[in-house]
Amino acid sequence: AQSVTQLGSHVSVSEGALVLLRCNYSSSVPPYLFWYVQYPNQGLQLLLKYTSAATLVKGINGFEAEFKKSETSFHLTKPSAHMSDAAEYFCAVRETSYDKVIFGPGTSLSVIP
Amino acid sequence: DGGITQSPKYLFRKEGQNVTLSCEQNLNHDAMYWYRQDPGQGLRLIYYSQIVNDFQKGDIAEGYSVSREKKESFPLTVTSAQKNPTAFYLCASSMIQDWSTEAFFGQGTRLTVV
């Protein structure tokens, strides 16, 4: 069965520092993986997705994520945090031919001036 | 512009009342979903539908009902049987022909019981 864990329900970084948000998944088959961002009182917006074309995926707003099969991980990074990056981030997984997307519990990112 | 529209953005309900949350999409997606979001609990799936006139229960369906009479519309009714309905509700849609495609989300409805 699919599941997603996100280490750290809350992460704080200084403006300009590296952002690292962790995501690990469990899946019996190679999955599709997604990162979404949610700003307060809004819906979720796709940041990037892994669909097996390349292990390093670049997304919007300078974010990228690397798929590591051996570690069953899909961590999200950004070299330099900006104040506007403060939001909730969700990792999600979907198995091939499975009709549901499973979301992790989310990580709230704070950016300190 | 293609997208998903949820209405209303804010909704207040008296205890014992049923309320219906609207979700409409013009993306021509087959699948539609309802999620409930509570602080610190992420997204929990209430119901989903892959085709008109068919839907399945998610993880927390008790106290909720849905219908899918049209491909574009997937309204959610929060019934009086739902003991703690105050939450943020998100509707989403996706393609099912290509499993690699992402889900698209509406802007959410915040329901408060008064």
| CB within 8 Å: B42 and A42 | no
Residues A111 and A82: beta-carbon distance below 8 Å: yes
CA distance A113 to chain B (A): 24
Contacts of A95 in chain B (CB under 8 A): 99
- How many percent of chain B have pLDDT more than 90? 77
pLDDT of A107 above 80? yes
Closest CA to A64 of A98, A97, A23: A23
**DSSP E strand stretches across A22-112:** 24-26, 31-38, 44-50, 56-58, 64-68, 73-78, 87-95, 102-103, 107-112
User: In this complex, is the C-beta atom of B15 within 8 Å of any C-beta atom belonging to chain A?
Assistant: no
pLDDT digits (tens, 9 = 90+) for A27-81: 777 788 999 999 988 999 999 999 877 889 999 999 999 999 899 999 999 999 9
Chain B residues with CB-CB distance to A97 below 8 A: 99
CA distance A100 to A32: 11
What is the separation of C-alpha B39 from the centre of its chain, rounded to a whole number of angstroms? 17
Across chain B, what does the average pLDDT equal? 92
Model confidence pLDDT, tens digit, residues B13-47: 998 899 999 999 999 999 999 999 998 778 999 99
Q: How far is CA A84 from CA A113, B15, B49, B77, in A?
A: 11, 38, 35, 35
DSSP H/E element including A40: none
pLDDT (0 to 100) of residue B2: 73
